[in-house]
């Protein structure tokens, strides 16, 4: 399927309206049918894949009249979704293997996003599109986890020598060449986009267990998960509709959210504005139902409304027209808030080197000063012309 012209994708209003309705937890069947009959399905499938909501679309067309959806569009969607389901099953099987491996070595791990979010938000492990497995692991266990994953057939992008030198990447990434499976390990040191350091021990203490294919998978509490996915969405400037759909589905399906606990978690990590923006987008764009007190606070949050307006301006581009370097910087300043905390946050992000900034010609036990100095120039090259994150 050939993608549409990049300059044209913003004008696919019928398809974008259908995609918004498809991703909404309060979609109306009659409205969806009317929108579906006016859509160009080749364009629609491109947007659905760009925004990570192919599973949402597949779930919605099952009850539609066959005359509304063209046969070729339906068959292509079914085939793409089948591949997503098979991949999900394979990733879940590998997740169970890794959790058993870590448990045998007494390595604590919590699953974030991925299949546990699919269950918590949708009750279906295959409806979300994701390409890797994300685990929260304490820094003290990173070396043991790396050794265990390498012994299990994974290739580590962060070598043991860098771990021993206490160099902190953006994530500890592992891959298998045969299956192209990616595993990412995160902790309170790698999650730089949290304004304040993640209280990882509290997250472990509040953990829950999510039933997944006959297994009990360790995961974040619902409140911590909500804050986590809002920070993740803000980190990537909410460039995919699927991330907003996750927030909308989670707050809709989980009726017993402790909103005070979620607010406290957001305050503890400095992500109050990020949480508010995620909730604002879920409510305004996808009609997610929020409790009256939460909605009342959002209605007077001018900062969250302003950020949501920026997101709406570039969201429908489907990844083809990205905000440039200065737009990204301005967005990050505003999502942190006002006063001294905003520029301090942006400065820290700009000068905290990750593995992309490490100089391979410099010994790993050398100080990372030059890596930090190099980072702003690399970011300018990457995003100076609207490069994608």
How far apart are alpha carbons 357 and 345 in whole angstroms? 19
Question: What does the DSSP 8-state code read for residue 111?
Answer: E
Q: Which residue has the tokens 């491109």?
A: 46
Q: Which of 317, 299, 298 is nearest to 15 (CA)?
A: 317
Question: What does the DSSP 8-state code read for residue 248?
Answer: H
pLDDT above 50 for 87? yes
Entry field: residues in the chain: 389
How far apart are alpha carbons 223 and 202 in whole angstroms? 12
pLDDT above 60 for 365? no
Task: Note the pLDDT of residue 115.
Answer: 95
Question: Quick one: CA dihedral 131, 132, 136, 138, positive or negative?
Answer: negative
Average pLDDT estimate for 220-227? 98
Cβ-based neighbours of 303, under 8 Å, separated by 6 or more: 273, 276, 334, 337, 338
371, 357 Cβ separation under 8 angstroms: yes
Cβ-based neighbours of 290, under 8 Å, separated by 6 or more: 251, 279, 282, 283, 298
6, 321 Cβ separation under 8 angstroms: yes
Phi, psi of 94 (to 5 degrees): -70, -35
DSSP 128-183: S--SEEEEE--GGGHHHHHHHHHHTTPEESS-HHHHHTT---S-EEEE-TTT--EE
Task: Note the pLDDT of residue 61.
Answer: 86
Q: Which of 358, 22, 291, 333 is nearest to 195 (CA)?
A: 333
Reported as a pLDDT band with limits 50, 70 and 90, residue 6 is very low
Phi, psi of 379 (to 5 degrees): -65, -35
Task: Note the pLDDT of residue 324.
Answer: 77
Q: Which residue has the tokens 């969806």?
A: 32
Distances (CA, A) of 142 to 108, 156, 321: 10, 11, 37
Task: Note the pLDDT of residue 337.
Answer: 75
pLDDT above 90 for 320? no
pLDDT above 70 for 124? yes
Residue ranges of alpha helices (H) inside the chain are: 13-23, 29-37, 41-50, 54-61, 71-104, 114-122, 142-151, 160-164, 200-205, 222-235, 241-253, 259-268, 272-286, 292-299, 302-315, 325-336, 341-351, 369-383
- pTM for the structure as a whole: 0.90
Tens digit of each residue's pLDDT (9 = 90 or more) over 290-314: 999 999 999 999 999 999 999 988 8
To 5 degrees, how large is the angle CA 312–CA 85–CA 222?
55
Whole-number CA gyration radius for the chain: 21
344, 365 Cβ separation under 8 angstroms: no
Tens digit of each residue's pLDDT (9 = 90 or more) over 127-171: 998 889 999 999 999 999 999 999 999 999 999 999 999 999 999
Task: Note the pLDDT of residue 329.
Answer: 85
303, 334 Cβ separation under 8 angstroms: yes
Reported as a pLDDT band with limits 50, 70 and 90, residue 3 is very low
């Amino acid at each position: 399927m050939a993608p549409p012209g990049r300059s044209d994708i913003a004008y696919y209003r019928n398809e974008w309206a259908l995609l918004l309705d498809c991703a909404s937890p309060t979609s109306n069947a009659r409205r969806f049918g009317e929108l579906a009959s006016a859509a160009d399905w080749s364009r629609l499938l491109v947007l659905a894949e760009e925004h990570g909501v192919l599973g949402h679309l597949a779930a919605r067309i099952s009850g539609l009249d066959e005359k509304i959806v063209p046969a070729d569009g339906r068959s292509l969607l079914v085939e793409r979704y089948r591949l997503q389901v098979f991949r999900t099953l394979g990733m879940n099987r590998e997740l169970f293997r890794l959790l058993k491996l870590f448990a045998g070595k007494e390595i604590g791990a919590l699953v974030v996003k991925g299949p546990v979010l699919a269950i918590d938000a949708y009750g279906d492990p295959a409806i979300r599109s994701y390409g890797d497995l994300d685990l929260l692991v304490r820094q003290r266990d990173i070396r043991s986890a790396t050794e265990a994953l390498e012994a299990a057939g994974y290739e580590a992008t962060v070598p043991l020598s860098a771990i021993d030198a206490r160099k902190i990447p953006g994530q500890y990434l592992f891959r298998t060449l045969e299956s192209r499976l990616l595993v990412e390990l995160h902790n309170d040191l790698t999650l730089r986009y949290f304004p304040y350091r993640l209280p990882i021990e509290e997250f472990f203490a509040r953990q829950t267990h999510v039933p997944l294919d006959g297994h009990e998978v360790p995961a974040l509490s619902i409140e911590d998960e909500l804050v986590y996915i809002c920070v993740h969405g803000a980190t990537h400037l909410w460039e995919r509709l699927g991330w907003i759909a996750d927030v909308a589905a989670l707050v809709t399906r989980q009726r017993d959210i402790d909103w005070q606990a979620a607010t406290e978690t957001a305050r503890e990590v400095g992500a109050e504005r990020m949480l508010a923006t995620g909730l604002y987008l879920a409510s305004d764009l996808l009609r997610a139902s929020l409790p009256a007190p939460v909605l009342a606070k959002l209605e007077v949050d001018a900062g969250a409304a302003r950020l949501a307006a920026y997101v709406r301006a570039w969201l429908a581009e489907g990844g083809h027209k990205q905000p440039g370097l200065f737009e990204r910087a301005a967005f990050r300043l505003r999502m942190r808030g006002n006063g001294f905390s905003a520029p301090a946050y942006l400065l820290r992000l700009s000068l905290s080197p990750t593995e992309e900034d490490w100089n391979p010609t410099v010994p790993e036990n050398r100080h990372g000063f030059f890596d930090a100095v190099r980072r702003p120039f690399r970011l300018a090259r990457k995003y100076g012309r609207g490069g994608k994150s």
